[in-house]
Amino acid sequence: MLPNHSPISFEILHSPLHFLQAGLSDLPQPDWLREYESWWEREGQGISAAVDRSGTPWLRMFDRFGARVDEVLYPPEYWRMLKHGYHAGVLWRVFEEDSLLPAYLGIYVTSFYDPGLSCPYTVSLATIAPLSKYGDPELQKRFLPPLLRRDESVWQGATWMTEIKGGSDLGAAVETVARPAGTHWLLTGDKYFASNAGAELAVVAARPEGAPRNVRGLGLYLVPRQRADGQLNYFIRRIKDKIATRSVPTGEIELRDSEAWLLGLREEGIYLILEVLNLSRVANSIGSVALAQRAMADALSFAKRRMVFGKPLIEQPLIRRQFEERFQQLQAASRLGWEAVELLNQVWREKPPYSDRYHLFRLVAHLAKYWTAELAVQTAKWAMEVHGGLGTLEEYHVERWLREAMILAIWEGTSHRQILDGLEVMERRRTHHLLFQHLAATGSASALREMESRVEQQLNLPEEERGATVEGLFRDLAAFTADALLARGIRAKS
Ligand SMILES: Cc1cc2nc3c(=O)[nH]c(=O)nc-3n(C[C@H](O)[C@H](O)[C@H](O)COP(=O)(O)OP(=O)(O)OC[C@H]3O[C@@H](n4cnc5c(N)ncnc54)[C@H](O)[C@@H]3O)c2cc1C
């Protein structure tokens, strides 16, 4: 039986912080975050809509005297919107408070209004994290303070792995070569999808000359925008013309003997790359929940006022039931996304070899990235349908959430990759046992046993069949985990 939500309880959909407060009251909601949400209501959302509407930003490649400058040209309001999050403390508070929560809370609020804008904050976090863990003291002294500045001059980060031959199979597709040059390295190659193009510092996947052509041959390098002599250290070939996430410039990057510094041990490069990706996948998970919340909020505003067959659409039993079911799904997905944040916050400072807790986190992160992105796409499609034909018109914005959701489902690894990587971490590390122990106190012991036995059966299938048939199981495991976490939350409250 579904809980009987009065219309008033749906009203929390209109505010990211009210929604979090209702479902996850243990999450802090400091004053700066409330002020940040108010700023989006007052000012940010108007800027965001204009940036989305105006499409691809321009790239100015040369100055008037023929020198290469590669400047990304957005209107001044864009820079105000972007810098506002840095000022508010989406990043610097992580180090002040020694917790990832401020970043993920800020990203949640940002994503409710503009899922693309949360990308610069996410990739900056995913640059700062490996630098602070693996960078030598000299590198940290040089690069960390500008990334944590609280004023206009703050530096941005970026995470560039994908090349033209594909992002899923990085071990085979990365052709960027790293050559040693004394205390640093020189990188040459092209990055095909490079978000936050123009960032002052990027972490980049490259293969040292002669290293094996598989994932173990990859290293993670720090690449600043400028060389020590002030010249450009990488070039932007062009800015992509994308269907959405227009508030982050995604470009093609040319590395040409670009000065770089290796992070961590060369043999452990792939672990560092996955650490970077995992920080982004968790951000993607809560960003997807925020997007789904936003799409539902827009659908609600419309359904309350649209009259059909003598009463508001929201009072039609079919639509009302859909709202109730989707509301519950959203709450469960939110639990799953924030569980991934919570686990990440516990393990993100670990270095290889990792603890069991870290491997549990990896499985939860794959489940969360997959499940929340699918939810975002489905919810955004449904919100358009609730609007009828008006939903297809750009002027009312609801179609934007479907465009944005489609990107959330693909970048940071597609749903296929989450399913297959989730399967692998269960095969290799038996992480499903850790997951079921983690969920032990959440619900019925027999339901847990049944789900665990389904996972075991899947893992015992012959290799090809195991991969070919895993989708249904992974979907059920994600829904099961989300529902179990929601039930735990409800019990803890009552
Ligand atoms: C807007 C945007 C911004 C981006 N920004 C960045 C960025 O800043 N940095 C960065 O590094 N990357 C970035 N990416 C790249 C993104 O991470 C990749 O698009 C994504 O990882 C998928 O890689 P691909 O597009 O090359 O697809 P491919 O790897 O070519 O895959 C094609 C299809 O094959 C599927 N597939 C792959 N392997 C298997 C398998 N074994 N079994 C079944 N199916 C499989 C994939 O799931 C996908 O559906 C960005 C992408 C977009 C769209």
61: Cβ below 6 Å to ligand 1?
Answer: no
For tokens 């929201």, name the residue: 314
Mean pLDDT, to the nearest integer, of 89-110? 97
pLDDT of 128 strictly over 80: yes
In the predicted structure, residue 317 carries a pLDDT above the cut 70: yes
Digit-coded pLDDT (tens) for 204-216: 999 999 999 999 9
What is the reported pLDDT for 2? 38
Cβ within 8 Å of residue 182, ≥6 positions away: none
Helices (H), 306-410: 317-347, 356-386, 398-410
What is the DSSP annotation of 262-273? EES-GGGHHHHH
Closest by CA to 24, choosing from 375, 368, 361, 342, is 342
Residue 6: pLDDT band with limits 50, 70, 90: very low
Helix (H, G, I), strand (E, B) or coil at 242: coil
3-class state of residue 437 by DSSP: helix
For a ligand 1 pocket test, name from 125, 252, 411, 470 the mutation site with the most ligand atoms within 8 angstroms of its C-beta.
411
State in Å: Cα 159 to ligand 1 middle.
Answer: 14
Q: Give ∠ CA 238-122-94 in degrees, rounded to 5.
A: 145
Q: What is 195-210 written as a DSSP string?
A: ETTT-SEEEEEEEETT
CB burial readout 275-285, b (16+ within 10 A) else e: bbbbbbbbbbb
Q: What's the 468 CA to ligand 1 centre distance in angstroms?
A: 19
Question: How confident is the model at residue 214, as a pLDDT?
Answer: 97
Ligand 1 site, residue 416, Cβ cutoff 6 A: yes
Q: Which pTM value belongs to this model?
A: 0.97
DSSP type of residue 442: G
Percent of the chain at pLDDT exceeding 90: 95
- Residues 319-369: pLDDT tens digits? 999 999 999 999 999 999 999 999 999 999 999 999 999 999 999 999 999
Q: What is the mean pLDDT of the chain?
A: 96
CB distance 474 to 419 below 8 Å: yes
Cβ atoms of 316 and 140 within 8 Å: the answer is no
pLDDT at 412: 96
The mean pLDDT value for 93-100 works out to: 97
Q: What pLDDT score does 389 carry?
A: 98
Contact between 158 and 194 (Cβ < 8 Å): yes
Q: Quick one: angle between helices 45-54 and 76-88, nearest 10?
A: 130
Cis peptide bond N-terminal to 353, omega within 30: yes
Residue 477 CB partners (closer than 8 Å, separation 6+): 367, 432, 451, 455
Q: Let me know: does 399 contact 407? Beta carbons within 8 Å.
A: no
Ligand 1 closest atom vs CA 245: 1
Note the residue count of the chain.
Answer: 494
Dump pLDDT digits (tens) for 389-419.
999 999 999 999 999 999 999 999 999 999 9
- What is residue 3's predicted lDDT score, i.e. its pLDDT? 42
For residue 250, the surrounding DSSP H or E stretch is strand 250-263
pLDDT in tens, 426-483: 999 999 999 999 999 877 899 999 999 999 999 999 999 999 999 999 999 999 999 9
- Mutation test residue for ligand 1: of 410, 464, 465, the one with most atoms within 8 Å of CB: 410
pLDDT for 443 equals 73
Q: Name the band, by pLDDT with cuts 50, 70 and 90, for residue 256.
A: very high
Per-residue pLDDT tens over the stretch 421-441: 999 999 999 999 999 999 998
| Contact present, 223 and 211 (Cβ < 8 Å) | no
Residue (of 448, 441, 452) closest to 488 by Cα position: 441
